[in-house]
C-alpha cells in the first residue's frame, strides 16, 4: 500500500497548535508521557501472553530503549510492547476520541499555560512531543501480526501513514528535534528526567548515546512492592501521575500490605481534582489489578465499589492465578474479599483525615462527596461508616456539618433531623419551607445533589433521630417553641371562623388540584407553600423521575396557608363577608400557582395564570 496522507481530527489540530506554540516551562513531561505509554504497551503484551504465549517469541523480556543520535539530532524511544496496527495508529494518534474529545474541548480555556495542564488529565500526553519536535515518526508492529506501519507528522495539521519494515513487535518513536532543543541530546539531562518521573516504572529503561553501551536509567522495580520508608513523597506523586494519567498532585496516599487470609498490596491515591470521567454513566473505577507484579487489567469489575471510582492506583494480589480471565474475575471470592478489605481501609483513612484535618476534608467533600454518597444506598454493610463521613451545607452557616455535629446542637424539644432537597443551594436558601425553622433556630440540612433523593429513601434515621423532610406535611414545629414576633406587637392570625370559611372556599374552588388545604406554622413571610403528604413521593424526586420519563403522573399536593399573612387575613375577611366569588376564586388559583412557582414546578396553565394576574392587578390599580 502506498503512503496515505490524512488530516488530524479538529480537536487534535487545535491541541497540536497549542503544543507547537506553547511556552510551557515543563517541556520535559514529553519524555515522561512517552515512557508511560511504552510501559502500558508492555503491560498489555505481558497480559496477552498469559493466554497467547507465542506472541513473545524469542523476546520475553520487556524493556524501553532510549537512544540519542547527536549527529542526526534525533531522540528515539522504543519498546517491545503490544504495538499498533494501521487502524490503531490512526485511531490513537489521529484522534483523542478515546480520551474524551468533548470533555477535553470543554475544558480548553484558551490560555496556553492552563490548557497544558489538561494534557495528562485527558490522556493525550503523546502530543506533548511536538513542543520539542519538528517531525515525529512512529513505527509500530502489532503483536501477532506480520505487517508494520509508520506514522509521520510535523504537527501542523496532517499526518501520513505507510507500510514499514520492523522485524519484531512493539513501537519505535523517532523525534527530530527543533533547532533550539539540543538539551534533549545530553545524557545527564535525560537520566535526570527518567529518574525524576519514571523510576517507579517496573521494567528497565535503557539509555544509550550515539554508539555507546546501553545502561539502565531507572530502578525498574514496582514502587508498591518497596517499603514505605524507602519511597519519597516525590516518587509517590510521580507514580500517581503515571498510573492515574493525571497532572495534579494526590490529595491522599494509601499504601499498605495485607497479610493473612488473603495477601495483596495496595497503593491507592485520592486525586486533588476530580477526574474528567468521574460522572461517566458507566461508573467504572480506574484502579489497576496486578497479580505478583504482572498487570492483569484496569477493568476488574467488583474490585473497587463504584462510589470510590475517584481512586487511582494499583492492587497487587499474591493469591489470584496469573491466567485468570475477566469472566472469572467477576465471580472470584478473592476479588470480593479484596473489595471489602480495600473499601474498609479507604473509608478508615478518609475518617482519619476528616477528624484531623477538617478543612482539607471539606475540599475533598466538595470534589467527591456526591459520588461517595452513592454508597449510602448501594452498600448496606457500610452505611454506618459512610454516614460518619457525609458532610452537609445547612441553615446554620457556610461551614459543612456532619450528622454528629447536627445532633449535638439540636434545639430543645427537637427530635428529628430536618433536611430539604432542591436543585441548588440558592433555591434551597430561599425556600418558604425554612421560614418557621429559621424563626425557631432549628437547623435544616440543605441537600442539592441529585443522589440525595435516592439515599434518603434507604436511610431513615441516625442515632435514634428520624431523618425528616422539611417539606413533609406532618412536620410539627409547635414543640420547639413559639415563633418570635418581628415587631413589638404580636402578629395575630386570621380569626378562626373567618379562616375556616376561607379554607372551605379554597378547597371547593381548587377541587382535585390539591389534596387538602390547611393552615401551617412553618411559614413566617410567605403566604402559601406546597407540601407532600406522608405517604407521597418527595416533590423533588418526583420532578427528577418525570424529567427522565420514569414517571408519567403528578402527585396531588397539600396547600398550606399562613394564617398570619396579610393576604390570607384579608381573603378570610372577604370570604366571611360574602366578597366577590370570582375575585376569591382567582386569588385561590393564584395562591396555588404561586406555591408551584416557589417549588420550581411548571404551571399547568400559564395562560390562565397570566389572565388571573392581570385581572387582580387591574382591580388593585383601579
Average pLDDT over residues 57-71: 94
**Chain segment 177-189, per-residue pLDDT in tens:** 999 999 999 999 9
Q: In the 3-class helix/strand/coil scheme, how is 479-509 assigned residue by residue?
A: HHCCCCCCCCCCCCCCCHHHHHHHHHHHHHH
Provide the pLDDT for residue 588. Answer: 92
Provide the pLDDT for residue 114. Answer: 44
CATH architecture of the region 496-621? Up-down Bundle (1.20)
- Rounded to whole angstroms, what are the CA distances from 288 to 40, 97, 314? 11, 22, 5
Contact 571, 529 (CB under 8 A): no
User: Which residues lie closer than 8 Å to 336 by C-beta, 6 or more apart?
Assistant: 302
Lowest mean pLDDT across 101-110, 346-355, 411-420, 478-487: 101-110
Q: Where are the domains of the chain?
A: 4-220, 224-359, 399-480, 496-621
Provide the pLDDT for residue 28. Answer: 86
| Res. 3: pLDDT tops 80 | yes
Contact 401, 445 (CB under 8 A): yes
For residue 524, count CB atoms less than 10 angstroms from its CB and return exposed for 0-12, middle for 13-18, buried for 19 or more.
Answer: buried
**Chain segment 557-581, per-residue pLDDT in tens:** 999 999 999 999 999 988 888 766 7
User: Which residues lie closer than 8 Å to 442 by C-beta, 6 or more apart?
Assistant: 411, 414, 418, 477, 480
- Output the CA torsion sign for 426, 428, 431, 436: negative
Average pLDDT over residues 592-618: 89
Contact 539, 515 (CB under 8 A): no
What region does 576 belong to: left with phi over 0, alpha with psi -120 to 50, or beta? alpha
Average pLDDT over residues 510-518: 92
Q: Strand 64-69 and strand 74-79: pairing?
A: antiparallel
Give the residue carrying C-alpha cell 425556600.
431
Provide the pLDDT for residue 20. Answer: 58
User: Topology of domain 399-480, per CATH?
Assistant: Rossmann fold (3.40.50)
Higher-pLDDT residue of 328 and 372 is 372
Provide the pLDDT for residue 355. Answer: 95
Q: Which of 157, 150, 143, 182 has the alpha carbon at shortest distance from 46?
A: 143
For residue 36, count CB atoms less than 10 angstroms from its CB and return exposed for 0-12, middle for 13-18, buried for 19 or more.
Answer: buried
**Chain segment 296-314, per-residue pLDDT in tens:** 888 888 999 999 999 999 9
Distance CA(120)–CA(309), nearest Å, equals: 18
Q: Which of 250, 284, 291, 256 has the alpha carbon at shortest distance from 269?
A: 250
| Res. 424: pLDDT tops 90 | no
| Res. 105: pLDDT tops 60 | no
**Chain segment 308-353, per-residue pLDDT in tens:** 999 999 999 999 887 677 677 878 899 999 999 999 999 999 999 9
Q: Is 529 helix (H, G, I), strand (E, B) or coil?
A: strand
| Res. 276: pLDDT tops 50 | yes
Provide the pLDDT for residue 103. Answer: 46
| Res. 247: pLDDT tops 50 | yes
User: Which residues lie closer than 8 Å to 443 by C-beta, 6 or more apart?
Assistant: 394, 395, 396, 401, 406, 409, 410, 411, 418, 437
| Res. 129: pLDDT tops 60 | yes
Q: Is 141 helix (H, G, I), strand (E, B) or coil?
A: strand
Q: Name the percent of the chain lying above pLDDT 70.
A: 89
- Rounded to whole angstroms, what are the CA distances from 197 to 273, 352, 453? 20, 30, 44
Burial state string for 107-118 with b = 16 or more CB within 10 A and e = fewer than 16: eeeeeeeebbbb
Distance CA(414)–CA(476), nearest Å, equals: 10
CATH architecture of the region 224-359? 2-Layer Sandwich (3.30)
Contact 419, 428 (CB under 8 A): no
Contact 270, 369 (CB under 8 A): no
User: Which residues lie closer than 8 Å to 413 by C-beta, 6 or more apart?
Assistant: 479, 480, 481
DSSP 569: H
Lowest mean pLDDT across 47-51, 371-375, 438-442, 533-537: 533-537
Question: How many residues comprise the chain?
Answer: 622
At the top level of CATH, the class of 4-220 is alpha beta
Provide the β-strand partners of residue 287.
Answer: 313
Q: Is 175 helix (H, G, I), strand (E, B) or coil?
A: strand
DSSP 472: B
Contact 584, 571 (CB under 8 A): yes
Distance CA(574)–CA(587), nearest Å, equals: 11
pLDDT band at residue 420 using 50, 70 and 90 as cut-offs? very high
Q: Which three cell numbers stand for residue 53?
A: 504465549
Average pLDDT over residues 133-145: 95
| Res. 487: pLDDT tops 60 | no
Provide the pLDDT for residue 199. Answer: 82
State if pTM tops 0.85: no
Round the average pLDDT of the chain to a whole number and report it: 86
**Chain segment 11-34, per-residue pLDDT in tens:** 666 666 665 555 445 788 889 889
Half-sphere exposure of 333 (CA within 13 A, CB side): 2
Provide the pLDDT for residue 122. Answer: 35
Same fold, 224-359 and 399-480: no
Contact 93, 126 (CB under 8 A): yes
Distance CA(58)–CA(41), nearest Å, equals: 18
Amino acid at each position: 500500500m502506498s503512503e496515505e496522507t490524512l488530516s488530524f481530527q479538529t480537536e487534535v489540530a487545535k491541541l497540536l497548535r497549542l503544543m507547537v506554540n506553547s511556552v510551557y516551562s515543563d517541556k520535559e513531561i514529553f519524555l515522561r508521557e512517552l515512557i508511560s505509554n511504552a510501559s502500558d504497551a508492555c503491560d498489555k503484551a505481558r497480559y496477552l501472553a498469559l493466554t497467547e504465549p507465542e506472541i513473545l517469541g524469542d523476546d520475553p523480556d520487556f524493556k524501553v530503549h532510549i537512544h540519542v543520535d547527536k549527529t542526526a539530532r534525533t531522540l528515539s524511544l522504543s519498546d517491545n510492547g503490544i504495538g499498533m496496527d494501521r487502524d490503531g495508529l490512526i485511531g490513537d494518534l489521529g484522534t483523542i476520541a478515546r480520551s474524551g474529545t468533548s470533555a477535553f474541548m470543554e475544558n480548553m480555556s484558551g490560555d496556553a499555560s492552563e490548557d497544558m495542564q489538561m494534557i495528562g488529565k485527558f490522556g493525550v500526553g503523546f502530543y506533548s512531543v511536538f513542543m520539542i519536535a519538528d517531525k515525529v515518526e512512529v513505527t509500530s508492529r502489532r503483536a501477532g501480526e506480520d505487517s508494520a506501519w509508520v506514522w509521520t507528522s510535523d504537527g501542523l495539521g496532517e499526518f501520513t501513514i505507510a507500510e514499514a519494515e520492523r522485524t519484531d513487535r512493539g513501537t519505535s518513536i523517532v523525534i527530530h528535534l527543533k533547532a533550539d532543543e539540543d538539551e534533549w541530546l545530553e545524557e545527564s539531562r535525560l537520566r535526570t528526567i527518567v529518574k525524576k518521573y519514571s523510576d517507579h516504572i517496573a521494567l528497565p529503561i535503557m539509555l544509550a548515546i550515539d554508539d555507546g553501551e546501553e545502561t539502565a536509567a531507572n530502578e525498574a522495580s514496582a514502587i508498591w512492592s518497596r517499603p514505605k520508608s524507602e519511597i519519597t513523597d516525590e516518587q509517590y506523586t510521580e507514580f500517581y501521575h503515571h498510573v492515574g494519567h493525571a497532572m495534579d498532585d494526590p490529595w491522599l496516599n494509601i499504601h499498605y500490605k495485607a497479610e493473612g487470609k488473603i495477601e495483596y498490596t495496595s497503593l491507592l491515591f485520592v486525586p486533588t481534582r476530580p477526574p474528567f470521567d468521574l460522572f461517566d454513566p458507566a461508573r467504572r473505577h480506574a484502579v489497576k489489578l496486578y497479580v505478583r507484579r504482572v498487570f492483569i487489567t484496569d477493568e476488574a469489575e467488583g474490585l473497587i465499589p463504584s462510589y470510590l471510582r475517584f481512586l487511582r492506583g494499583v492492587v497487587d494480589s499474591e493469591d489470584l492465578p496469573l491466567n485468570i480471565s475477566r469472566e472469572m474475575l467477576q465471580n472470584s471470592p478473592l476479588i470480593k474479599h479484596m473489595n471489602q478489605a480495600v473499601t474498609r481501609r479507604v473509608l478508615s483513612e478518609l475518617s482519619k483525615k476528616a477528624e484531623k484535618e477538617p478543612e482539607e476534608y471539606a475540599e475533598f467533600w466538595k470534589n467527591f462527596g456526591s459520588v461517595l454518597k452513592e454508597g449510602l444506598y448501594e452498600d448496606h454493610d457500610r452505611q454506618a461508616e459512610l454516614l460518619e463521613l457525609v458532610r452537609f451545607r445547612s441553615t446554620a452557616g457556610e461551614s459543612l456539618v456532619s450528622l454528629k455535629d447536627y445532633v449535638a446542637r439540636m434545639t430543645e424539644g427537637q427530635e428529628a433531623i430536618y433536611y430539604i432537597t432542591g436543585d441548588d443551594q440558592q433555591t434551597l436558601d430561599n425556600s418558604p419551607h425554612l421560614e418557621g425553622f429559621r424563626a425557631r433556630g432549628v437547623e435544616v440540612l440543605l441537600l442539592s445533589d441529585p443522589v440525595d433523593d435516592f439515599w434518603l429513601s434507604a436511610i431513615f434515621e441516625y442515632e435514634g433521630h428520624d431523618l425528616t423532610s422539611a417539606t413533609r406535611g406532618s412536620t410539627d414545629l409547635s414543640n420547639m417553641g413559639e415563633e418570635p414576633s418581628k415587631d413589638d406587637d404580636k402578629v395575630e392570625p386570621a380569626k378562626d371562623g373567618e379562616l375556616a370559611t376561607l379554607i372551605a372556599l379554597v378547597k371547593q374552588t381548587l377541587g382535585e388540584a390539591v389534596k387538602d388545604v390547611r393552615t401551617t406554622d412553618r411559614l413566617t413571610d410567605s403566604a402559601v407553600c406546597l407540601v407532600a403528604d406522608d405517604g407521597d413521593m418527595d416533590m423533588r424526586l418526583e420532578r427528577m423521575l418525570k424529567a427522565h420519563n420514569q414517571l408519567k403522573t403528578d402527585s396531588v399536593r397539600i396547600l398550606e396557608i399562613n394564617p398570619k399573612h396579610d393576604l390570607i387575613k384579608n381573603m378570610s375577611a372577604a370570604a366571611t363577608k360574602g366578597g366577590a366569588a370570582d375575585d376569591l376564586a382567582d386569588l385561590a388559583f393564584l395562591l396555588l400557582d404561586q406555591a408551584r412557582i416557589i417549588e420550581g414546578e411548571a404551571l399547568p396553565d400559564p395562560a390562565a395564570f397570566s389572565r388571573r394576574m392581570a385581572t387582580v392587578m387591574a382591580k388593585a390599580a383601579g
